Homo-oligomer: A and B are copies of this chain.
């Protein structure tokens, strides 16, 4: 059996997130169905992240054991034949026996898009958070800097996570104006807690709109109190952008 690593990208709009569940179609299930059609094998794949419903991935890594005779580098062609248009296989390779997309990942980078304009944008409604009030980019970045470094992020997680520790190292957290009306937030860390990026972004929006003093962020993070941060920003603005192996 080979240990095959697969890189995909997907538009999460029409899925109930990554992970298999009984209530709705997920990306994982759709990938497993395509693998079954391409190789004849009914297997379970391991993903690098549990993305929520509506969250997208510009790059997502998964792995699975397979006895297929299709060479790894040809697998994306075979899978794309069976995959729907909102999921695309980009690259596959034979990974070492002990590689796991869940446990071998050394870090991830997410981006989050905020449409900051009074009117909605038809092309961004599924790919951004429409925030129609003024945002101060300088204040957002002053607040964002406080997230960088090693912190206990227990105040920036939704309940439901099952981690041993809530300490994470954020390698980068900053915002840029990537188009006249678009603010893109980048957050890179060794690992993330459940909803961590979306709560950080909701808190940055409070800092940018004047609701929260950017200089209060270090104390807010240290408090570990979820109630002091901003809302959980909606899922459709979030993209897994890069997975570090």
Contact = CB atoms under 8 A, between A and B. Distances in A.
Contacts of A9: 121-123
A245 to B, nearest CB: 20
A162 interface: no
A119 interface: yes
A238 B120 CA distance: 21
Interface stretch (A79-87, A101-109, A144-152, A221-229): A79-87
Interface string A11-37: 100000000000000000000000000
Contacts of A11: 122-123
Interface in A121-154: 121-123, 125, 127
A154 B118 CA distance: 43
Contacts of A89: 119
B80 A119 contact: yes
A52 B118 CA distance: 29
A88 interface: yes
Contacts of A121: 9, 88
Contacts of A209: none
Nearest to A12: B122
B120 A85 contact: yes
Contacts of A87: 122
A10 B119 contact: no
Contacts of A127: 123
Contacts of A118: 77
Nearest to A125: B85
A232 interface: no
B80 A122 contact: no
Interface of A: 9-11, 56, 76-77, 80, 85-90, 118-123, 125, 127
Given A9-B121, A9-B123, A11-B122, 9 more contacts: A9-B122, A80-B120, A85-B120, A85-B122, A85-B125, A86-B122, A88-B119, A88-B120, A123-B127
11 contacts: A9-B121, A10-B122, A11-B122, A56-B123, A85-B120, A85-B122, A85-B125, A86-B125, A87-B122, A88-B120, A89-B119
